[in-house]
């Protein structure tokens, strides 16, 4: 698991790692549980650092940094997600950290006790960061009370998936130049989507006008309390949208009568070539993946040059590098502060 | 219970809404009953004297809805610990729900509960028996036999009777017995796998919601059945505005319906779940905490009489079972020890309610709907009393709790009142260790608080 980092390729990028500046260019959190509790300045800080990391990733792809040297990042995934786990792994390794993958995906949702037992085992290994994905909303909030490591939420039930939303925000910012004032429509099963919640928080905090669309069973009107517009008509949703963000629709929603059928979903809200023509000519099409091809989006749309459905891998790694770096800096500041307090006594 | 020696409670302010009394009075207890209430009663040689100066003397509280978990759930509570918790909260009469293991659906279990309560002697326990065998909602339990054994009410509680015909038969039959059916109104299909009120907070937290209609549709159904059959339906823990409207509708038409509301539904909203670190399982209960509009309307419904009384739904769960993921945690919170403190602090201290109103809703109001002679200090009544300290800020903390469980959303909160002593038929069942370190009739340790 451990990867020795050759000294000759560890380069500190000068000026990249900010010393605690005045103002909000730091992240004063022990954990990243969600976007809800981040300020717009903190989100910008993460995106700014991610953008710098991305430039370096592109220009110097083999580089290893020393930012997380001596730190251990544990990926604790109670649900399978090769994509997200690999992205965190690449991010941590690039920063010079050690990575341990703890794959505990099970068919049933791991109970609280199991969760605490597993996390305690992991802490005994000396984990500094625990990156967790779990099927229950609030699982990170719960685990936070039982561990001393920094927790990074890689998706908890239907609650939040902050790094996915942040990487999507980075993608949108790159494409549009700015997020403030942009019209962004999120279409699909928002009710069960952690990505939707994190994206709503991130995009509204950054000043976007967000529209949620989908069947009324899956996009309840109460979403309007999150400062978004709720509509149930595809055309209304995509008119004037700069970005159209499609969410995965899962087959099990049919069984619970949220949907009559996937065919009907496709007929009312699916994005195909014809519907694409109803959108603004330069509107971006995004999807957090994995895609139900032929349900929420057709192959034709995915292959269109306006699609950002694939190819956001670099942004994912860059955003996760930024989050790890900023949380580690916050931790160093906390440790320095408590050492100073001890010295005073 | 055996008769106690005579007891004189001196110097307290007696608040007894059953006789419109709110004045400085002494109370004399003989043979376990109220003997006299007068301006000044001289102690007889044989009488034990309790110094109640600066304290409120009220009838013992009556709890129509609690869970004592015995038999079968002693990790959470027992008759002994639950009765002690009741006494520490000022309660003298408690109605435990039948969802024990085994279910209280046979005279044997009713008699077991009564026997344990008589040994413990901390509270008058009136068992609620199941409406249907094993609370399965399929076949009526032997309701007449259960009543004869000592059951005071019938309920399937958290396993609501989904088949309306069974409920209709039960109400018809219970009418003959003159015994109410306590109805936990919930449509399990509407609840599905919901864990909190469906609204903006559940949406934000990504938790499955329970719609108001889960309760309100069953309230409407069962109130209609009550009206049709003439059977007394008591709606448990009303939680939302739509249920209130249904109760009001049927009460206006003369349905024999009564209703209770809990301290938590009167004071908290679903936002409590999102506070602090979030996903607070001590704010997870059924029916779920709804939103501010519901809370406000519940207060008004209690005030205008649509809702008859207060009941805590004291639901102990062993600490380990609540320290888990929100989805996995059991529903319910403890309520005995905090009820008076919470409601005094929320409604009496700021001047919304008179103290008499609060005490009425915890004493004579629940007793009246049961047609019972508890909750009063009228001469001849059982000498069930509680002594209350009001107007002094104290924390509600672990030392306030006698239950085996501690699943309370109010732990660590400052309260402006607390029960400090309780008597059941003249026998001491609770003496606050700080105020009465050597028992109620021994010397007090602290200067009494001022009573406004």
Chain-centre distance of CA A192, in angstroms?
16
Taking the Cβ of residue A114 and every Cβ of chain B, the question of whether any pair is shorter than 8 Å is answered with no
Instruction: Count helices and strands (H / E) in chain B.
Output: 15, 19
Partner residue opposite A111 with nearest CB, options B192, B278, B328: B328
Q: Are A274 and A296 in contact (CB under 8 A)?
A: no
Per-state percent for chain B, helix, strand, coil, to nearest 5: 35, 20, 45
Residue B319 Cα, gap to closest chain A Cα (Å): 13
Whether A157 and chain B come into contact, CB under 8 Å, resolves to yes
Distance from CA of B366 to the nearest CA of A (A): 37
Residue numbers in B near A36 (CB within 8 A): 204
d(CA B65, CA B61): 12
Least confident interval from A281-290, B118-127, B297-306: A281-290
Mean pLDDT of A55-82: 92
Cα A137 from Cα A144, distance rounded (Å): 13
Shortest distance between the Cα of B247 and any Cα of chain A, in A, equals 27
Query: Helix and strand tally (H, E) in chain A?
Result: 12, 9
Of B199, B279, B323, the CB nearest to A222: B199
Cβ pair B205:A113 closer than 8 A: no
Q: Which helix (H) or strand (E) holds A314?
A: helix A313-344
Give the tens place of pLDDT for each residue, B264-286. Answer: 999 999 999 999 889 999 999 99
Indicate the burial class of A222 (C-beta count within 10 angstroms; 0-12, 13-18, 19 or more).
Answer: middle
How many residues comprise chain A?
A: 345
Q: First CA to last CA across chain A, in angstroms?
A: 41
B324 touches chain A (CB under 8 A): yes
**CA B145 vs CA A310, B71, B101, B141: distances in Å:** 71, 20, 20, 9
User: What's the whole-model pTM score?
Assistant: 0.92
Whole-number Å distance between alpha carbons of B186 and B188 = 6
CA A102 to the chain's CA centroid: 20
Q: Of A109, A111, A142, which has the smallest distance from its Cβ to B279's Cβ?
A: A142
Max Cα distance, chain A (Å): 71
pLDDT value of position B447 = 53
CB-CB neighbors (< 8 A) of A222 in chain B: 198-200, 203
First to last CA, chain B: 36
Residue B45: predicted pLDDT: 77
CB–CB of A137 and B328 under 8 A? no
* Arithmetic mean of pLDDT, B11-29: 97
Say which range, A177-181, A285-289, B302-306, has the weakest mean pLDDT: A285-289
If you average pLDDT over residues A215-231, what whole number do you get?
A: 96
Residues 6+ apart with CB under 8 A from A340: none
A24 inside 8 A of chain B by CB: no
Task: Give SS3 for B172.
Answer: helix
B326–A136: do the CB atoms touch at under 8 Å?
A: yes
Looking at every residue in chain B, the average pLDDT score rounds to 96
Reported in sequence order, the residue ranges of B278-340 that DSSP labels E, i.e. its strands, are 309-310
Structure tokens at B7: 């007891």
SS3 A186: strand
Is there a contact between B415 and B342 (Cβ–Cβ < 8 Å)? yes
- DSSP assignment of B357-376 equals HHHHHHTHHHHHHTT-S-S-
**Which DSSP string do the residues of A96-141 spell out, in sequence order?**
T-EEEEEE---SSPPPHHHHHHHHHHHHHTT-SEEEEEESSTTHHH
Token output for B413 = 């909160």
Q: What is the DSSP letter of A7?
A: G
Within the 417-446 window of chain B, which residues sit less than 8 Å (CB to CB) from chain A?
A: none
DSSP-derived secondary structure letter, A32:
B
* Residue A8, pLDDT above cutoff 50: no
Most confident by average pLDDT, A101-105, A334-338, B17-21, B440-444: B17-21
Residue B363's Cβ-side half-sphere holds a number of Cα atoms within 13 Å equal to 31
Flag whether residue B31 sits within 8 Å of chain A, measured between CB atoms: no
Distances (CA, A) of B441 to B37, B54, B344: 18, 15, 26
Contact check, Cβ <8 Å, A138/B278: yes
What are residue B91's phi and psi, to 5 degrees?
-85, 140
Mean pLDDT in residue range A24-39: 90
Average model confidence (pLDDT) for chain A?
A: 89
**pLDDT band per the 50, 70, 90 thresholds, residue A106:** low
The reply to whether residue A197 touches residue B206, judged by beta carbons under 8 angstroms, is yes
Helix axes A40-59, A194-205, angle to 10 degrees: 100
Does the pLDDT at position A107 exceed 70? Answer: no
B280 touches chain A (CB under 8 A): no
Q: Is B51 in a helix, a strand, or coil?
A: strand
Do B326 and A138 make contact, defined as CB atoms within 8 angstroms? Answer: yes
- Is B444's pLDDT higher than 60? yes
Contact list in B for residue A197 (CB cut-off 8 A) is 204, 206
B132 three-class SS: strand
- Residue where the block lists tokens 């038999």: B71
Q: Is the peptide bond before B102 cis (omega within 30 degrees of 0)?
A: yes
CA distances from A16 to A98, A320, B308, B397 (A): 21, 15, 67, 49
Mean pLDDT of all residues in B383-395: 97
Which pLDDT tens digit goes with each residue over B153-194? 999 999 999 999 999 999 999 999 999 999 999 999 999 999
Please state the rounded mean pLDDT for residues A140-153: 94
Contact flag A225-B278 (C-beta cutoff 8 Å): no
Read off the pLDDT band of B344 (50, 70, 90): very high
Q: For residue B427, which of B108, B138, B161, B118 has the smallest C-alpha distance?
A: B118
Asked if pLDDT for residue A22 goes beyond 90, the answer is no
- Point out the least confidently predicted range of A265-269, A294-298, B352-356, B441-445: B441-445
Residue A11 pLDDT greater than 80, yes or no:
no
CA distance A183 to A254: 30
Any chain B CB within 8 A of the CB of A145? yes
> Hey, is the C-beta of A62 within 8 angstroms of any chain B C-beta?
no
Active site residue B187: no
Cβ–Cβ of B328/A220 closer than 8 Å?
no
Nearest residue, CB atoms, B277 vs list A141, A223, A226? A141
* pLDDT higher than 70, residue A311: no
Q: Does A220 touch chain B (CB under 8 A)?
A: yes
Of A139, A145, A226, the CB nearest to B204: A226
d(CA A225, CA B168): 41
- Ranges A308-312, A321-325, B52-56, B215-219: which has the least confidence: A308-312
**Does B392 have pLDDT greater than 60?**
yes
Q: What is the pLDDT of residue B308?
A: 98
Question: Which of B196, B198, B206, B318 is best to mutate for the A interface (most A CBs within 10 A)?
Answer: B206
Cα B171 to Cα A292, B137, B183, B225, B231, distances in angstroms: 52, 13, 11, 8, 5
Residue in B78, B179, B63, B77 with CA at minimum distance from that of residue B129: B179
**Burial class (CB within 10 angstroms; exposed 0-12, middle 13-18, buried 19+) of B361:** buried
State pLDDT tens for residues B400-425: 999 999 999 999 999 999 999 999 99
- In percent, the amount of chain A with pLDDT more than 90 equals 72
Residue A59 forms contact with B (CB below 8 Å): no
Contact B205 A138 (CB under 8 A): yes
Q: Are A199 and A227 in contact (CB under 8 A)?
A: no
Strands B196-197 and B209-210, sheet pairing: parallel
Check CB contact of A189 with chain B, cutoff 8 Å.
Answer: no
With a pLDDT cut of 70, the percent of chain A lying above it is: 91
Tokens of A265: 């979903």
| Contact list, A109 vs chain B (CB under 8 Å) | 327
Asked if residue B71 has a cis previous peptide bond (ω within 30° of 0), the answer is: yes
d(CA A88, CA B280): 29
What is the arithmetic mean of pLDDT over A65-94? 94
CA distance linking residue A279 with residue A240, whole number of Å: 7
Dump pLDDT digits (tens) for B50-86.
999 999 999 999 999 999 999 999 999 999 999 999 9
Strand B257-261 versus strand B33-38 pairing type: unpaired
Q: Is it the case that residue A67 has pLDDT exceeding 90?
A: yes
Q: Could you give the CA distance from residue B18 to residue B368 in angstroms, rounded to a whole number?
A: 10
Of A165, A157, A36, A329, the closest CA to residue B277 belongs to A36
Rounded to 5 degrees, φ, ψ at B323 are -85, 75
- When scoring A35, A119, A137 by the number of chain B Cβ atoms within 10 A, the one with the most, hence best to mutate, is A137
Interfacial A residues in 70-109 facing B (CB < 8 Å):
109
Q: What mean pLDDT comes out for the span A190-201? A: 97
Average pLDDT over residues B115-138: 98
Tell me if chain B has a CB within 8 Å of the CB of A44: no
- Among B187, B270, B294, B313, the active-site one is B313
Judge whether residue A15 has pLDDT over 70: no
Burial A3-12 (b: 16+ CB within 10 A, else e): eebeeeeeee
Contact B324 A142 (CB under 8 A): yes
Torsion of CA A147, A153, A158, A159, to 10 degrees: 80
Q: Which residue has the tokens 């994190």?
A: A198
Q: Does A173 reach chain B within 8 Å, measured CB to CB?
A: no
pLDDT at B450 > cutoff 70: no
């Amino acid at each position: 698991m451990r990867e020795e980092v050759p000294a000759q390729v560890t380069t500190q990028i000068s000026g990249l790692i900010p010393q605690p500046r005045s103002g909000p260019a730091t992240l004063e959190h022990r954990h990243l549980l969600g976007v809800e509790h981040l300020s717009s300045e903190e989100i910008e800080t993460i995106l700014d650092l991610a953008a710098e990391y991305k430039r370096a990733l592109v220009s110097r792809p083999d580089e290893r940094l020393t930012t997380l040297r001596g730190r251990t990042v544990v990926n604790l995934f109670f649900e399978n997600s090769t994509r997200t786990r690999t992205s965190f792994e690449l991010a941590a390794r690039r920063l010079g950290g050690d990575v341990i993958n703890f794959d505990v995906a099970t068919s049933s949702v791991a109970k609280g006790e199991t969760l605490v037992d597993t996390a305690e085992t992991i802490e005994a290994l000396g984990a500094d960061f625990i990156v967790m994905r779990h099927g229950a909303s609030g699982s990170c909030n719960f685990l936070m009370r039982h561990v001393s490591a920094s927790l990074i939420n890689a998706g908890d039930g239907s609650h939040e998936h902050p790094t996915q939303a942040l990487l999507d925000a980075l993608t949108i910012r790159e494409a549009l130049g700015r997020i403030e004032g942009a019209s962004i429509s999120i279409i699909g099963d928002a009710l069960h989507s952690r990505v939707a919640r994190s994206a709503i928080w991130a995009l509204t905090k950054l000043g976007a006008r967000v529209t949620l669309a989908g069947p009324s069973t899956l996009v309840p009107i109460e979403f309007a309390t999150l400062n978004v517009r709720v509509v149930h008509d595809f055309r209304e949703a995509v008119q004037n949208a700069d970005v159209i963000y499609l969410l995965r629709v899962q087959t099990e929603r049919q069984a619970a009568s949220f949907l009559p059928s996937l065919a009907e979903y496709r007929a009312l809200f699916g994005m195909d070539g014809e519907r694409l023509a109803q959108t603004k000519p330069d509107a971006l099409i995004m999807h957090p993946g994995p895609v139900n091809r032929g349900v929420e989006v057709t192959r034709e749309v995915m292959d269109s040059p306006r699609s950002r459905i694939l190819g956001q891998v670099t942004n994912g790694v860059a955003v996760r590098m930024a989050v790890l770096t900023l949380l580690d800096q916050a931790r160093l500041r906390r440790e320095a502060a408590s050492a100073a307090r001890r010295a005073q006594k | 219970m055996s008769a106690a020696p005579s007891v004189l409670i001196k110097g307290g302010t007696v608040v007894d809404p059953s006789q419109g009394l709110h004045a400085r009075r002494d109370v004399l207890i003989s043979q376990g009953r109220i003997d006299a209430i007068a301006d000044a009663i001289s102690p007889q040689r044989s009488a034990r004297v309790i110094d109640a100066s600066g304290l409120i003397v009220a009838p013992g509280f009556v709890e129509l809805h609690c869970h004592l978990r015995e038999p079968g759930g002693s990790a959470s509570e027992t008759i002994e610990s639950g009765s002690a918790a009741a006494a520490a909260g000022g309660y003298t009469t408690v109605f435990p729900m039948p969802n024990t293991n085994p279910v209280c659906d046979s005279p044997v279990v009713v008699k077991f509960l009564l026997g344990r309560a008589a040994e413990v002697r901390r509270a008058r326990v009136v068992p609620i028996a199941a409406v249907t065998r094993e609370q399965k909602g399929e076949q009526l339990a032997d309701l007449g036999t259960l009543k004869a054994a000592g059951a005071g009410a019938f309920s399937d509680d958290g396993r609501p009777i989904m088949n309306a015909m069974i409920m209709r038969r039960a109400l018809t039959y219970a009418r003959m017995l003159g015994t109410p059916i306590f109805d936990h109104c919930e449509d399990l299909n509407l609840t599905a796998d919901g864990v909190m009120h469906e609204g903006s907070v559940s949406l934000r937290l990504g938790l499955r919601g329970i719609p108001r209609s889960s309760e309100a549709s069953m309230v409407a159904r069962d109130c209609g059945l009550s009206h049709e059959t003439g059977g007394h339906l008591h709606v448990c823990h009303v939680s939302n505005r739509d249920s209130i409207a249904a109760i009001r509708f049927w009460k206006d038409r003369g349905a024999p319906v009564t209703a209770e509301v809990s301290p938590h539904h009167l004071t908290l909203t679903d936002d409590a779940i999102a506070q602090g670190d979030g996903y607070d399982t001590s704010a997870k209960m059924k029916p779920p905490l709804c939103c501010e509009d519901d809370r406000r309307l519940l207060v008004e419904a209690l005030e205008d009489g649509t809702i008859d009384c207060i009941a805590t739904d004291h639901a102990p769960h062993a600490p380990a079972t609540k320290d888990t993921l929100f989805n996995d945690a059991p529903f319910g919170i403890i309520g005995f020890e905090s009820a008076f403190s919470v409601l005094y602090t929320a409604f009496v201290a700021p001047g919304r309610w008179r103290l008499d109103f609060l005490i009425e809703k915890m004493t004579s109001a629940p007793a009246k709907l049961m047609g019972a002679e508890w909750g009063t200090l009228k001469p001849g009544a059982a000498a069930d009393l509680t002594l209350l300290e009001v107007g002094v800020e104290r924390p509600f903390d672990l030392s306030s709790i006698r239950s085996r469980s501690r699943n309370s959303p109010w732990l660590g909160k400052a309260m402006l009142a607390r029960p400090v002593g309780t008597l059941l038929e003249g026998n001491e069942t609770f003496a606050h260790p700080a105020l009465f370190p050597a028992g109620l009739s021994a010397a007090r340790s602290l200067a009494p608080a001022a009573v406004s």
